[in-house]
Amino acid sequence: MSQEFDFTDHSHRRFNPLTDSWILVSPHRAKRPWLGQQETPMKSTAPEYDEKCFLCPGNKRVTGGSNPKYESTYIFQNDFAAVKTDQPDLQVQNSGKDTLKDRLIKVEGVRGNCFVICFSPKHNVTIPQMSIPALEHVVGAWQTLYNDLAKQARDDHKPFKYLQIFENKGTAMGCSNLHPHGQAWCLSEVPSEVSQEFRSFDKYKHAHGADLLGDYVKLEMEERSRIVLENDSFLVVVPYWAVWPFETMIVAKTKVANIAQFSEKQKHDLAEMMKHLTVKYDNLFETSFPYSMGLHQAPLNATGDELDNAWFHMHFYPPLLRSATVRKFLVGFEMLGEPQRDLTAEQAADRLRKLDGDHHYTEKL
Ligand SMILES: [Zn+2]
Ligand SMILES: [Zn+2]
């Protein structure tokens, strides 16, 4: 073997410093011939208002209440919340005798509240089809929720510690309602993904005296091969360690711990990045691109290291691989070994970078 190592041809593993785990990259497999079908781009035929939709303005919800005739964004408590503010205490008893149960069964109670955020009163639009000012309202709604829940935790001792804001878009991600909306689950504990990131931030700071994501932004701006979009406040990259084919991360260029700390300029800049990124996504396979996306930021009322280590960023995890209907599954080796991808992060970034981020493909239909 006298050949040189080629990252676009030879298998390697990449380390994810956020989750402290590895992913397998097999770039030669991306060269397999593709005989799949080509879809015809379609325009959504859904109406702007749907009388059967429980998220449309003025409509009745499943549990009987009804929505106001809202005109921009609208937040309400989830009728089927995964966590509740009130429930009985869970008494956990440890025998102290090192029984098998003491060793292996660990449990804790959890409280909180869940919310639905309607992005727009229009039933038939998605984030890429909304204007930047309309998306600024979405960012504003997230800020309001973050501030309100932090205040309720402080003043009324509500069991709110971490607010996970997210959107599941498309039936491929298990979202059955077309109406543009996201969710926010607020828990009395920091969920696992986030607490793992915080452990990584802390470890990095102790080792290098710097912020992990601050350093990562510097590195990406030097290397540039994984940058998809950029403005004054944010960088959009396909992370070096991306698992999903077209996974991206929107990361603040300078330290900002949470969305409540945003300046008006940062609020605008985030809306702008969300718009252009999601337009590119839709243009990639000329389809309404499904994904799960969410915000990672400081816990509510964070102080000390928790506040100091937090660095605002968003993850987009889209499942599509080659077309509107061919998606990646995390199965087999990925469930039992570790995640694997064919296309490299640099190849995915290059494809996304070259796509139009201003004009949605349906404008041309
Ligand atoms: Zn609707
Ligand atoms: Zn994160």
- pLDDT confidence of residue 33: 65
Query: Does residue 200 lie within any of the structural domains?
Result: yes
Is 186 labeled as ligand-binding?
no
Around ion ligand 2, residues with a beta carbon closer than 5 Å are 197, 296
Report the range of poorest mean pLDDT among 27-36, 173-182, 265-274.
27-36
Q: Which ligand is nearest to the CA of 198?
A: 2
Is 340 labeled as ligand-binding?
yes
Question: How many angstroms separate the alpha carbon of residue 256 from the centre of ligand 2?
Answer: 14
User: 């252009």: which residue's tokens?
Assistant: 276
Distance set, CA 90 to CA 106, 111, 148, 296 (Å): 12, 11, 27, 28
Question: How many angstroms separate the alpha carbon of residue 176 from the centre of ligand 1?
Answer: 12
Partner residues linked to 136 by β-bridges? none
Query: Does residue 364 lie within any of the structural domains?
Result: no
| 260 exposure class (CB count in 10 Å sphere: 0-12, 13-18, 19+) | middle
Query: Does residue 102 lie within any of the structural domains?
Result: no
For residue 227, the domain's CATH number is: 3.30.428.10
Question: How many domains does the chain fold into?
Answer: 1
Q: Which domain does 123 fall in, by range?
A: 44-86+108-355
Task: State how far the Cα of 211 lies from the Cα of 305, in Å rounded to an integer.
Answer: 12
0.75 cut: is pTM over it? yes
Query: Does residue 361 lie within any of the structural domains?
Result: no
Quick check: 2 pLDDT over 70? no
- pLDDT confidence of residue 52: 93
The number of CA neighbours under 13 Å toward the Cβ of 243 is 19
Quick check: 30 pLDDT over 60? yes
Confidence class for position 343, pLDDT limits 50, 70, 90: very high
Q: Which residue has the higher pLDDT, 364 or 270?
A: 270
Q: Which ligand is nearest to the CA of 239?
A: 2
- Residues annotated as catalytic are 181
Is 174 labeled as ligand-binding?
yes
Of the chain, the percentage scoring pLDDT greater than 70 comes to 97
Query: Does residue 27 lie within any of the structural domains?
Result: no
The average confidence (pLDDT) of the chain is 94
Q: What is the pLDDT of residues 278-322, one digit of tens each?
A: 999 999 999 999 999 999 999 999 999 999 999 999 999 999 988
- pLDDT confidence of residue 65: 86
